[in-house]
Amino acid sequence: MAIMTPKSLAETSAFTLIELLVVMAILGVLATVLLIAINPVEQLAKTRDTGRISSVTQLGRAVTSFYTTRIEAYPDPNLWNQEIVSAGELPIFPAGIVYGAYGITNCQANVQPAVDPTYCYSLDESGSGFGAIVFSKLESKTQTSKCTSVGDAYFVFSTADGRGGMICSSDDPSPWEAGSVSYLD
């Protein structure tokens, strides 16, 4: 007659190798699904766009203030970054924000700063009273997907409108008559 002994605690509560592999596989699938849902490339592009929007708004207000304090004269397009800083409208010119996703390139009209060019400036020199605009291209799919029919997504501050907003354009925008452009946001 055989004597039966109870199993030790270690023998009854251990995981088998198969159970551990199944748990690891489930965690791997969940991590992959989460990573796809979060899309870190898009999240970083959104963060950079937020910085661009904030800086363009700040620069647009500085240009408007420059105009007001300089008896209706806008900064020179070739020196606009230096003029708004030396006039005291900004303590320093904002740093550029590198375009990191989706192959978006920066705007071209009087682009500043020299390192990581990001912000552009255009002045109505025709005397039509359209003022000036400060703008930057946006790169996140959240923003660029709003431009389904025409061109690139831009965040623009218009001195004629006294505000900023997103527009779509096939080329770098130029100043317009107050109220003649519809913003997407």
pLDDT in tens, 38-86: 788 899 999 999 999 999 999 999 999 999 998 889 999 999 999 999 9
Please state, in angstroms and rounded to a whole number, the distance separating the CA atoms of residues 57 and 139: 17
Token pair for residue 70?
A: 């300089």
pTM of the full structure: 0.81
pLDDT in tens, 103-157: 889 999 999 999 999 999 999 988 888 999 999 999 999 999 999 877 899 999 9
Q: Grade residue 32 by pLDDT with cuts at 50, 70 and 90.
A: confident
Q: Is the pLDDT of residue 15 over 90?
A: no
Could you give the angle at the alpha carbon of 42 between the alpha carbons of 158 and 27, nearest 5°?
A: 160
pLDDT computed for residue 3 by the predictor: 65
C-alpha separations of 143 from 58, 127, 133, 151, 174 in Å: 20, 33, 20, 12, 20
